[in-house]
């Protein structure tokens, strides 16, 4: 009875029986005051081993109160008020196969069977012939197989069973079944309830059933006649029903084709369709919205008209889902059982709390159990039963857990008041916007023109350290080393042509001879192989002791041409060696 850490101590562990032997799904569990004493019981359709041991079980508190055998696997179970008799005790409807078994006071009360489906005429003829002894089982098999391939009306279960038999068993099967007429039955895939005419808590409810034949039926609770039949494009797997049959209702059905359809009172065809990118696992209505859990480990919210609101990604595949409604506190959320032994609680796309469980939870049911309104009942894969009670003081804070804009973004900055100057400037800009823009554009054009002119001039007079000449493309940079008065001047010259060597070049310097003396003011350059960097070194002596410096101009010249190929201006540093002496 300890508070487990991650759920923030919101739940009290009321009961856990890991070996309760309860194997079921959320669709086969309901809570109802079956004795009219104000204490809700848990009614469960137990699937047993899946082939045997199916039972209808009723729990009171921590104890199993009663159990009775179910003849077939339950597909769904609901408690509902079928009449207005006092005391107000609900009946229990168990859907299995093509039938609904209704229990009152936990005793079998009524059995409803869905109407049969249309039988294939050819199939009927073939069996007729078998009955008259005209064809043997082998021929029957052949004929049925060909019917199965072509027919638009599917074969009956009997024929399908026959087709799956081995030769030796066929004779016996035919003898056993040939006298009975062929019938084709659909089976119920899901069941729900729909209030007849009042929204009262204990108002009479119709049963709503979805079938393998892609139909939805609404049954009158007293006479058990079909009040309404609607068709879907695919077989339904689970549904949610809201509203009242006589007024307005809405049936949200998830189908085996991966779509969700919304049926309304006026029409026998779906009114809206939600196409999902992966198959729905669970469907829960929260207020006016629908929350769908999908096989791609996502939870998605839709409006009742099918408009997508949000999507959130979960940490593990979804096993089961259930609604958590606490009307006394006005609280609505969705419980999601995951394959990683967690049950997570979501309000919209926000994770409110996580419950860790010792085993994978396969079914969830939340509501009033016993005398406690906020009870969470879960059964596990291993057949365990777990009951948790929401603490009276528990609060779920609706923090947006998904990464989004940081909190600081919504903090208002303390922006200073607008000054008079600012206001005047704004006014001026607003009034003279056009003129200002023109003036700016004109200046910009002038600037561009001046820049272009200077560039052209520089190119024409080869003032740049890059030669633009096509025959002698050259690049040069200069490095000055030393503190003075002696400096070492290194010129790195590179022929940037792809493959053509350059010949007959020379380097010449222009400088103030009263300031500098150069060892070799003129140098010949050897043949320049493309790509290689050729360093040319020379020494410069500063002859002045006044601590001044000047520019030395470097020219690369081509024999026989008067204008240089390249010009570089070297800013000589101040000679510091002199002052040291």
Partner 1 sequence: MGLLDKLSGWLGLRKKEVNVLCLGLDNSGKTTIINQLKPANHSNHLGPLSEEWKHVSQTQAQEIVPTIGFNIEKFKSSSLSFTVFDMSGQSRYRNLWEHYYKESHAIIFVIDSGDKLRMVVAKEELDTLLNHQDIRSRKIPVLFFANKMDLRDAMSSVKVSQMLCLENIRDKPWHICASNAIKGEGLQQGLDWLQEQIAQSTENNEHMNE
Residues within the interface to partner 1 (CB under 8 A)? 1, 12-15, 38, 61-63, 328, 369-373, 387, 389, 391-393
Min separation Cβ 370 and partner 1, Å: 5
Nearer to partner 1, 389 or 568 (CB): 389
For 414, the token pair is 């303390």
**Residue 77: closest CA among 288, 415, 363:** 363
- Closer to partner 1 at the Cβ: 12 or 209? 12
Closest CA to 320 of 29, 74, 98, 32: 29
- Spatial contact of 346 and 336, defined as CB atoms under 8 Å apart: yes
494 membership: H or E segment, kind and range: strand 486-495
Closest residue by Cα to residue 529 from 581, 553, 493, 565:
493
d(C-alpha 575, C-alpha 296), whole Å: 76
Which of 368, 381 has the CB closer to partner 1?
368
Smallest separation (angstroms) from partner 1 to the CB of 333: 19
Q: What residues have CB less than 8 Å from 148, skipping those under 6 apart? A: 154, 155, 159, 163
CB of 8 to partner 1, least distance (A): 15
For the CB of residue 36, give the shortest distance to partner 1 in the complex, in Å.
15
Chain-centroid distance of CA 357 in Å reads 25
CA dist 103 and 93 (Å) reads: 6
Q: Give the separation between CA 502 and CA 581, rounded to whole angstroms.
A: 45
- Alpha-carbon distance of 291 to 323, in angstroms, equals 9
- Candidates 250, 342, 340; CA nearest to 302 is 250
Compute the least distance from the CB of residue 1 to partner 1, in Å: 6
Indicate the residue among 248 and 395 with the shorter CB distance to partner 1: 395
Q: Which is nearer to partner 1, 256 or 391 (CB)?
A: 391
CB-based burial, 351-362: b 16+ in 10 Å, e otherwise:
bbbbbebebbbb
Q: How far is the CB of 378 from partner 1 (least distance, A)?
A: 14
* Nearer CB in complex with partner 1: 241/364: 364
Judged by beta carbon, residue 318 or residue 365, the one nearer partner 1 is 365
Comparing CB distances to partner 1, the nearer of 147 and 376 is 376
Q: Quote the least distance from Cβ 369 to partner 1, whole Å.
A: 7
Number of Cβ atoms within 10 Å of the Cβ of 390: 20
Query: Minimal distance in Å, beta carbon 326 to partner 1?
Result: 11
Question: Can you tell me whether residue 453 is helix, strand or coil?
Answer: helix
């Amino acid at each position: 009875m300890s508070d487990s850490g991650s759920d923030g101590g919101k739940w009290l562990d009321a009961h856990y029986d890991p070996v309760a032997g309860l194997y079921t799904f959320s669709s086969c569990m309901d809570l109802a005051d079956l004795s009219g004493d104000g204490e809700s019981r848990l009614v469960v359709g137990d699937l047993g081993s899946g082939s045997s041991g199916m039972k209808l079980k009723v729990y009171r508190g921590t104890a199993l109160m009663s159990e009775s055998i179910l003849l077939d696997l339950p597909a769904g179970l609901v408690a509902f008020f079928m009449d207005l008799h006092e005391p107000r005790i609900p009946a229990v409807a168990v859907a299995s196969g093509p039938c609904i078994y209704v229990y009152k006071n936990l005793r079998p009360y009524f059995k409803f069977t869905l109407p049969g489906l249309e039988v294939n005429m050819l199939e009927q003829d073939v069996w007729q012939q078998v009955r008259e002894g005209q064809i043997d089982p082998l021929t029957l098999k052949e004929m049925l197989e060909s019917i199965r391939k072509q027919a638009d009306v599917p074969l009956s279960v009997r024929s399908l069973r026959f087709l799956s038999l081995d030769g030796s068993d066929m004779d016996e099967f035919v003898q056993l079944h040939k006298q009975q007429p062929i019938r084709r039955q659909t089976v119920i895939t899901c069941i729900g309830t729909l209030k007849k005419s009042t929204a009262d808590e204990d108002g009479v409810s119709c049963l709503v059933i979805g079938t393998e034949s892609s139909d939805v039926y609404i049954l009158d609770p007293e006479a058990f006649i079909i009040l309404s039949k609607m068709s879907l494009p695919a077989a339904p797997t689970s549904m949610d029903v809201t509203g009242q049959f006589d007024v307005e209702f809405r049936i949200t059905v998830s189908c085996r084709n991966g779509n969700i359809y919304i049926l309304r009172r006026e029409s026998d065809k779906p009114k809206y369709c939600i196409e999902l990118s992966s198959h729905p696992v669970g469907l829960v209505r929260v207020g006016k919205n629908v929350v769908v859990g999908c096989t791609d480990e996502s939870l998605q919210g839709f409006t009742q008209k099918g408009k997508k609101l949000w999507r959130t990604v979960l940490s593990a595949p979804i096993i089961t889902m259930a609604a958590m409604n606490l009307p006394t506190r006005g609280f609505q959320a969705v419980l999601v059982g995951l394959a990683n032994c967690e049950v997570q609680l979501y309000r919209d796309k926000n994770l409110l709390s996580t419950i860790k469980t010792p085993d994978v939870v396969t079914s969830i049911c939340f509501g009033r159990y016993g005398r406690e309104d906020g009870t969470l009942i879960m059964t596990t894969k291993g057949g365990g039963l777990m009951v948790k009670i929401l603490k009276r003081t528990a609060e779920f804070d609706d923090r947006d857990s998904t990464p989004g804009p940081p909190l600081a973004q919504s903090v208002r900055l303390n922006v200073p008041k607008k000054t008079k100057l600012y206001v005047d400037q704004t006014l001026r800009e607003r009034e003279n916007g056009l003129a200002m823009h023109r003036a700016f554009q004109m200046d910009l054009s002038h600037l561009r023109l001046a820049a272009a002119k200077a560039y052209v001039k520089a190119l024409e007079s080869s003032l740049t350290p890059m030669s633009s000449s096509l025959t002698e493309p050259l690049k040069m940079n200069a490095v000055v080393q030393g503190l003075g008065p002696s400096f070492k001047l290194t010129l790195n010259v590179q022929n940037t042509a792809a493959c053509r060597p350059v010949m007959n070049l020379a380097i010449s310097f222009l400088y103030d001879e009263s300031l500098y003396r150069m060892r070799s003011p003129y140098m010949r350059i050897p043949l320049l192989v493309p790509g290689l960097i050729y360093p040319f070194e020379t020494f410069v002596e500063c002859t002045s002791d006044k601590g001044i410096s000047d520019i030395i101009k470097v020219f690369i010249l081509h024999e026989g041409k008067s204008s240089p190929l390249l010009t570089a201006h070297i800013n000589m540093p101040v000679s510091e060696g002199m002052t040291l002496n």
